[in-house]
Structure 1
C-alpha cells in the first residue's frame, strides 16, 4: 500500500450519493478538499450542515473541513480532481455523457501540468481515455496522458445501505501508468478500509463496473420472468423461490421493479458500446425489456384483481405507498413506480402517492404525481405497497389495509408482509 500523501488538494465534482460521502471522508482523513456541485440550493444545505439526500449524518457534514461550493473559481490550486457526477441515459436509451463532459469543461481551465483526474462515474469501456481525455486536453491546452494524468475508480455506493458504505467495500482503482496508480492509491487507501483492487488498465476497471449492475439486472429479469409465468399458472412466485432456495447453489434473487441510477441504466452503456463494435447483445437487452415492463404488469394485475371483486375501475382511487427506486432512501431517479402510475392512469384510475422519504412538494413538482402527506383511513379501492420503506414495515399490514375501503385490494409488491398479509404479491 502506498504511503498516504496528504499534500494533494482534491476537488470532488458532484456532491450527491457518491461525491458527498467521499468528500467528507477525504477531509476527515486530513486532505484539503473542495466539494463542488452546480446545484446552488444543495450547496446551501451542505453549508448549513445538512445532506439533502439524508445519507451522511448532519454532524459529519457540519463538522467537515471540506469547502462546499458551487463556484468553479474555488478549484484553483487543486492538484487532483475526482468526477462523481451522474451518467444517465437519453430517452432513446443511449448514454448521456453530458454531465461528465460538463464536469470536464468545468475543471479544464484549472488544470496544471501534472494534474490528476479520476473518473468515478459509471461509463462504457473507453470513456475515460477516449472521451474525457480529449475533452480535458481541448479545454486546458495540456496533453492528456503526459501532462494530465488520467485514472478511473468506479463508485460502489448503495443508497440507504449503511452496512455497505464506501469505507466497507473494496474499491477498484486504475490509471494510465504505475506512477499515477500509486498516486491514486495514496488518495483512496486512507478512506477505504476494505482495501483497494488495482486493475490492469482503465478499460478493465470501466468494464468491471458496468458488468456489476448488468449481471444483477439480468438475474432480476430472470426471476421477473418466472413471476410472469407463475402468475399464469396461479402459483405464488415467492413460495416457489423459497422452495427452490433450499438448494445450496440457488441464487436468492427476488422479483421486483428495477429502477435507480445504476441497475436500470448501466446495461445500456455496455450495449451501446457493444453495438458500436458491431455486436448486438441479445441477452442483456432481453433482460432490460422484461424489467422495463414490470410496472405495467403490476398495474394490470391490480386492475384484474379489482374487477374480480366487482370494484369499479373507472374513477377508482388507488393509494401507492412509496415512490423512490428502493427502500429507505430519497432517491427517485429512474423509479419504475412511475410506470405503475402511468399505467393506472390509462384505466382512468386516480392514483395518490405517499412517500415519507420524498414529500408532497417533490412528488408533485418534480414528478407530476398526486402526492399526499397522510393517507386517510377507509378511502381507497386498492393499495399498492410499492417500496419497502421501514415506515411501512413498522406500520404493518393491518394498519395499511385499514386505509382502504371494505374489500379493497392490497398489493404488496415486495412481499414484506408475507402471503397472509396481502392479497397480491409480485
Structure 2
C-alpha cells in the first residue's frame, strides 16, 4: 500500500502518492465504507520519470574558434526511460532547430553561413512526461576574412603620364581577417562606381586568400586629360556587402588619382631653320629662318581661322574694360572647368590675372595680355588672345582663341638651350567643331 486516507461520498478527491521509484507502476484504488463493504477500482498503469539526463555537448568546444561560417553542432542526449526526446538547439539565446532525438544517440546539425563573431549555444530536451533538461552553455567564435585595399596599395606603371598613354594599374588585395576568403571578385573603375563610373577591363577573380596573404592584380588603362580617379572594388556589389561575409565591409573600395595635365608643352630652336618639337623632342614643324628673335609663335585650333592682325588680350573687352569671367568661359569651352590646372586656376588668382604683359604683334602692341610661365622656368611666357574680327565687343567663347609666346635667342631653360617654349591646352584642338588638331603660326621678324 502506497498511501491511505478518507474521501467524501460522491465527491472528486485528489490525493498525493508517496514517493515511488522510476519505472512502470499499476495503481489500484480500494475503498471501504462504514459497513465494512469494500471494492476495488479498475487498475491503471503509470510511469514514474525523473527529468531526463539531457544533452552532452560535443562540438563546438567551449571557447573554440570554428573553421568556417558553416558551423557543425554535435551533441548526445540520454534518458533512463524514453526512447525518443524532443530537443531544441539554441544559438545565442534563439531557437535554431528542433528535432526528435533517439535516446542515447548523436545528433548532428550544420548551421550555414553563421554571422561573424562570438556566439553561445546549448540544448534543451523534453521527455514524454514534459520534464525539461537543459545542457551547459558554451561559447564559440565564428572567424571571418577581412578583404581590404587602400590608396597606398594602388600604383601606376607611369606616374608622369600624358594623354592616351597605356598605363598599367597595380592593385594589391589583402586579407587581414581570421579566415580564408575564396572566389574574390575585384573590379577597377575610372571614377566612383557608386556614381555610375566606367569599368576598366573585366572582373578579375582571386581564387583564395588565407589570413595574412595578399595578391596584386593588374588592369590596363588609357589615360585621359584631367584627374583619372582609379577606383578598386573588392567583392561587389558593395551596396549589399557582396557575397563574402567579412569582419569589416567598409574597406573594400579605394582609389588613387593619376592626373594628366591640361597643357601640352612645345619648344623650338632657330639655327638656319625654326624647329618646333614637343616635350620628347619629336619634330613638329620646320621653317627656314636666319634670326627669329622678336618673332612670335601662335597656336589655335586648326578649324579656327584667326585674323592675326585683330587679336586682343583675353580678360579685356574692346574698350579695355576688365572681363575676368573670360577665363571661366574658356574653361567651359575647353571642357576644363573641373581640372586642377584649368585656365582659370593657371592664369588667375581669385579671378584676377596673376601676371600681364605686352606683346607686339605685327608691330602693334597688345596690352594687358594675361601670361604664365610656359614651363617651370620664367624665361618664356605664354599669353592668351581672342580674335575681335569674329564679332562682339567682348569674348564669349564664340571667337577664335590664340595662345602666344615670344621667340628668343638660344636661352637656357629647363629643356636645354631653346628659342621658345609655349604651353597649349590639349583640348584647344576641339575648340571649334571639325577636326582634332591645332595649327602653329609664326610671326617672323
- Asked if TM exceeds 0.5, the reply is no
TM (norm. structure 2) is: 0.22
Name the structure with the higher strand share: 2
Give the number of the structure whose alpha-carbon radius of gyration is greater.
2
Name the structure with the higher helix share: 1
TM (norm. structure 1) is: 0.23
